[in-house]
């Protein structure tokens, strides 16, 4: 309608990226929706939620460091997000804010592009909101999961909450039985691209290695894994699949996946 205001969605992160904006914007255009998507950089979780209410944002993507602490600021949290203990998507229905977690869907779909998951042995490095979602998704898909984390108290807590095993710090992967899947879900490699937590000796050619870090697209972990002959999955594949699920929650329509995938590829090429 002429003169009407567009519907606004967005995302909050400590360090906002461009990929979400590119994918959502392309999807809105493909379906001729008068919607816009904006990425906000902030450390203020409560302030971001208040702004969402005040400005009437329809949807909000939630990334580090907000995924766990945003939960207490919402009116409701979906059962799956409660089980995971983290929210990565907020939907505003006439001022009522509901939190969801679709990271786990993104992770599972990214893995299923290259491997079957049932009965696989998976190691997950990390114990934050992203790691919790990946652990939940892998267990839901039939994997046997072991968590490795630098803070052993935090790692044990997530293992107990999810039904996973706890294997100790990441260095302990060297002495562990070989895994079919290795998923890294900490910020290591994001701020310092040459850093990695997984020991080189834990990488092997029969393994699928996933790094949730979205940028750089090819982290050191993925380079080292490829050199060892492993199949690798960059974090942007998870980001793409969860963005498609966010689109469905925001609009009530199926996402134009190929359009979003092409927009992601173009955004990656233009970096």
Ramachandran region, residue 85 (left: φ > 0; alpha: ψ -120 to 50; beta: rest): left
Q: Break the chain down into helix, strand, coil percent, rounded to 5.
A: 40, 20, 35
Average pLDDT value over all residues in the chain: 96
Q: Residue 191: what pLDDT?
A: 74
pLDDT band at 110 (very low <50, low <70, confident <90, very high): very high
Q: Residue 192: what pLDDT?
A: 77
Provide the edge-to-edge strand list for the sheet that holds 208-211. Answer: 165-168, 144-148, 121-125, 181-184, 208-211, 231-234
pTM: 0.94
Catalytic residue among 58, 66, 67, 132: 67
For the stretch 73-98, pLDDT in tens is 999 999 999 999 999 999 999 999 99
Q: Residue range 167-184: average pLDDT?
A: 96
Q: Is pLDDT above 60 for 143?
A: yes
User: How many Cα atoms sit within 13 Å of 174 on the Cβ side?
Assistant: 7
Annotated active-site residue 120? The verdict is no
H helix or E strand, kind and range, residue 198: none
Bond before 216 cis per omega within 30 degrees: yes
Q: Which domains does the chain have, with CATH numbers?
A: 7-102+237-269 (3.40.50.10860), 104-234 (3.40.50.720)
Q: Is pLDDT above 50 for 214?
A: yes
Q: Give yes or no for a contact between 9 and 250, defined as CB atoms under 8 angstroms apart.
A: yes
Bond before 65 cis per omega within 30 degrees: yes
Q: Residue 271: what pLDDT?
A: 63
Q: Residue 3: what pLDDT?
A: 54
pLDDT band at 211 (very low <50, low <70, confident <90, very high): very high
Q: Residue 1: what pLDDT?
A: 44
């Amino acid at each position: 309608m002429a003169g009407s205001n567009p519907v606004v969605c967005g995302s909050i992160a400590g360090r906002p990226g461009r990929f979400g904006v590119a994918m959502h914007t392309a999807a809105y255009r493909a379906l001729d929706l008068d919607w816009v998507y904006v990425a906000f950089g902030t450390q203020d979780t409560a302030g971001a939620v208040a702004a969402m209410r005040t400005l009437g944002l329809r949807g909000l993507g939630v990334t580090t460091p907000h995924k766990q602490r945003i939960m207490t600021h919402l009116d409701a949290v979906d059962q799956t997000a409660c089980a995971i203990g983290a929210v990565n998507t907020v939907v505003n229905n006439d001022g009522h804010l509901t939190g969801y977690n679709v990271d786990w869907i993104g992770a599972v779909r990214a893995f299923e592009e290259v491997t079957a998951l049932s009965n696989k042995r998976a190691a997950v490095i990390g114990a934050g909101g992203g790691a919790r979602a990946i652990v939940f998704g892998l267990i839901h898909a039939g994997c046997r999961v072991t968590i490795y984390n630098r803070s052993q108290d935090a790692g044990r807590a997530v293992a107990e909450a999810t039904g996973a095993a706890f294997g100790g710090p990441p260095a302990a992967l060297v002495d562990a039985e070989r895994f079919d899947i290795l998923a890294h879900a900490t910020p290591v490699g994001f701020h310092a691209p040459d850093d990695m937590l997984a020991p080189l000796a834990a990488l092997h050619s029969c393994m699928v290695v996933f790094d949730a870090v979205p940028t750089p697209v090819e982290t050191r972990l993925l380079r080292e894994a490829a050199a060892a002959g492993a199949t690798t999955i960059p974090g942007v594949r998870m980001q793409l699949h969860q963005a498609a699920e966010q689109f469905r929650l925001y609009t009530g329509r199926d996402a134009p996946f190929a359009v979003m995938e092409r927009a992601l590829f173009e955004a990656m090429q233009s970096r």
